[in-house]
A and B are shown apart, each in its own frame.
Chain A
Amino acid sequence: MTEPSSAERRIQPAFPDLIAERTSDRLVQFRVDKSRLPQLARFLHEKLEGRLALLFAVDCRPLEDKYEIQYLFSLNRQWVLVTVDILGQERLFTSITPYVHAAQWYEREIRDLFGLIPQGHPDLRRLVRHEHWPKGIHPLMKEFLWDKALGRQQGQYRFRHIEGEGVFEIPVGPIHAGIIEPGHFRFSVAGEPIMQLEIRHFWKHRGIEKLFEQQTVTSALPLAERVSGDTTVGHGLAYCEAVERLLQLDVPRRARFLRSLFLELERLHNHLGDVGAICNDTAYTLAHAHCSRMKEQVMQLNDQLTGSRFLRGALAIGGVVNDVSAIQRSELIDVLNAMEKDFAELESIIFANASLTDRLETTGVLTERTAWDHGVVGVVGRASGMDQDVRRDRPFAAYDELAVKVVSYRYGDVRARLRVRMDEIHESIRLIRDIHNTIPHGPLIAKWHHQPPAGAWALSAVEGWRGEILYFVMAGEGGRIHRCKVRDPSFVNWPAIQWAVVGNIIPDFPLINKSFNLSYAGNDL
């Protein structure tokens, strides 16, 4: 096999003295000095077209007296992990934001949670810590107690202002109309068109990454399932995959198929809901009513199969809890076949409506270039011409045996995002049929008896319905979690909305926002 070292071979000519610390066909790890990092990051991003998938810090104390900053780049089908050590009393690291735009929120997040300062970052305002958090509080430092009550201080976030005749600012949120999560949006407008949008999030920050550190690797699944409720299976599965890699556990084949089934069911009900909600935001309530009816049908099916409308508790470390019998599956297929026909009829009704498609087309365009600069993933990325899907590129669960057809559109407008969702609904139903036909017999769960060694870590990626979910889990003493980094697709896609809305009129913002439909909970953690 020549594939395993492909990333290494491409990096070697430019950096001949760089030696990989860890190599597998999935991942290559390099440890570099912090002075060399910008050069390497720039090379990976610009020359090798590596997408910055994740950037996070690890407080290695008490095992070792250092912080590690990890840069994860996605090169074709291989991960390249670049590790930089921050030793002893050092608190500075070099910012790569000037070269790799996607690093901007990650580096601000590291500064807030670890107190490490990205030198050269153009925007050092607080991100996760709101202004009322007292100075010097960095929750993910090991000396910070997880249940410590925060004090309060005075402070105000400095929004970017545009000044000039006829320029107004419209603040929206954190609590806004509709049944929706809290977030603050600050628009600068001249007349109706939006000149600038600035997003202020992290109202729902619940300290999830710190809560993970209070658990053992095998007990934290319920927490992972509640990172973002609508992505229960996506997050749960990503967590399971990481822990199983840590425990070197082989999941039985039947369980892997059932995991794919649950993931597709989750994709189905969320996409159905989104198609309806996008139509609803153009005041086309008929499509909304039909879609929410179908969504409800899928959620009731979920309930019948697993006892939870969100498929909570269906997964377990090492496999799945709930079996789905052949009779249940064939009933499921019958319902889904009828639903596919039902949905296809609705699609033709939707696209026959000129006043609806007029609202969708050329609205909220996210260009491929902007999407690439932000490292956008998932549905939003595929609507902007980024041909990527973890199910195909880095198969997990049973996707190595199921061929996934990846949908992608070029225009990046609301209609493209709607089309991606519609096509994925058909694809999910097809995959569920495939799963029904090929699922093997066998055990549901693999047993484990050992604990992962302290300092061992694993990385996993899962294509949730929003996009690529990443988990980095590092084990500590006695099977505890030393560090768990969670990256919901929303975290990378939120900043991209700020660019997609520019030039659009204010009344189209809810529509654009709905077409992205990002999680606030998964972003804020």
Chain B
Amino acid sequence: MFRILKKSLKTGRVTGQYAQPPQSRAALAPGAREKALPFKRSLVIREVDTGSCNACEMEMNALTNPVYDVERFGVHIAASPRHADALVVTGPVTVNMERPLKDVYKQTPDPKLVIALGDCAIHCGVFKGSYAVTGPVDRHIPVDVRIPGCPPRPAEILKVLEDIRSRSSSNT
């Protein structure tokens, strides 16, 4: 017990120890801000991987580490799409994941946001054109926010999550 306390005291606070990203490159679809309105205090995210290389997943996981600590902004990550306000989709949509993606979209209660994370989700990236890839996410479900990068840095993701919600508050 003493050791654990000592370790915690020695480590100190690490939250926020990251470089602030430059200008956000995220693109918002028209109406996205209005759609984000109900979520300005709390946003529950469900992450769906439809064929990414798993780097985007690692960066999503990094959001929950003590350095980025996404929960301090009222953003939670849910285990089920039925508990989610927003879907974060990564990767090009493969032929095998097309049905599960549409299912998940249907299972997510309205109103909901869809965030396409990473180059692959936006334009298929290096996997473009393959027989096993059906296309980017917006071919199958409407996308509200696009965050480019291969993969986007956690600080960038965090900024976008903050932006869409703060803009929505300034609109009210």
Q: Is B57 an interface residue (CB 8 A)?
A: yes
Q: Are B129 and A146 in contact (CB under 8 A)?
A: yes
Select the residue from B50, B96, B151 with max chain A CB neighbours within 10 A: B96
Interface residues of A in 292-343 (CB under 8 A from B): 292-293, 295-296, 299-300, 303, 309-310, 312, 342
* Beta-carbon contact of A292 and B65 below 8 Å: yes
Chain B residues within 8 Å of A300, by CB:
18-19
Determine if A345 is an interface residue (Cβ-Cβ < 8 Å): yes
Contact A179 B57 (CB under 8 A): yes
For residue A477, CB closer than 8 A to chain B, the reply is no
A-B contact count (CB 8 A): 159
| Complex Cα gap A346–B8 (Å) | 11
The residues of B that contact A230 with a CB separation of less than 8 Å are 54-55, 58
Question: Chain B residues with Cβ under 8 A from A395's Cβ?
Answer: none
**A150 & B131 in contact (Cβ 8 Å cutoff):** yes
Contact A345–B7 (Cβ < 8 Å): yes
**Which B60-101 residues have C-beta < 8 A from chain A?**
60-62, 64-68, 77, 79-81, 91-92, 94-97, 99-100
**Which A-chain residue is minimally distant from B47 (CB atoms)?**
A179
Instruction: Pick from A175, A176, A204, A210: contact of B94, CB below 8 A.
Output: A204
Instruction: Say yes or no: A130 contacts B96, CB within 8 Å.
Output: yes
Among listed A103-111, A159-167, A221-229, interface-contacting one: A221-229
Report if B49 contacts A (CB, 8 A). Answer: yes
Q: Could you tell me the distance between the alpha carbons of A126 and B130 in the complex, rounded to whole angstroms?
A: 20
Give Cα distance in the complex from A519 to B18, angstroms. 28
Q: Output the nearest chain A residue to B14 by Cβ-Cβ distance.
A: A293
Interface of A is mostly: loop
- Chain B interface size band reads 35 or more
A181 nearest CB neighbor, chain B only: B49
Chain A 264-278 residues near chain B, CB threshold 8 A: 273
Interface size on A, residues (CB 8 A): 60
CB distance from B50 to the nearest CB of A (A): 8
CB neighbours (8 Å) of B60 from chain A are 179
Within 8 Å CB of A1, what residues of B?
none
Q: Is the CB of A206 within 8 A of B62?
A: no
Can you show 24 pairs from A to B with CB atoms below 8 A apart?
A146-B131, A147-B130, A147-B131, A174-B97, A175-B48, A179-B61, A202-B96, A203-B94, A204-B51, A205-B94, A205-B132, A206-B130, A211-B130, A226-B53, A226-B125, A229-B52, A229-B55, A232-B55, A289-B66, A300-B19, A309-B153, A345-B7, A352-B3, A521-B54
* Chain A residues near B (Cβ < 8 Å): 130, 132-133, 139, 144-150, 174-182, 202-208, 210-211, 222-223, 226-230, 232, 273, 286, 289-290, 292-293, 295-296, 299-300, 303, 309-310, 312, 342, 345-346, 348-349, 352, 519-521
Q: Which residues in B have some Cβ–Cβ distance to A below 8 Å?
A: 3-4, 7, 11, 14, 18-19, 47-62, 64-68, 77, 79-81, 91-92, 94-97, 99-100, 104, 125-127, 129-134, 150-151, 153
Given contacts A132-B96, A226-B53, 19 further A-B contacts (CB under 8 A): A132-B95, A147-B129, A175-B48, A179-B61, A180-B57, A181-B49, A181-B57, A203-B96, A204-B91, A205-B95, A206-B92, A210-B132, A232-B55, A289-B66, A296-B62, A296-B67, A299-B62, A300-B18, A342-B11
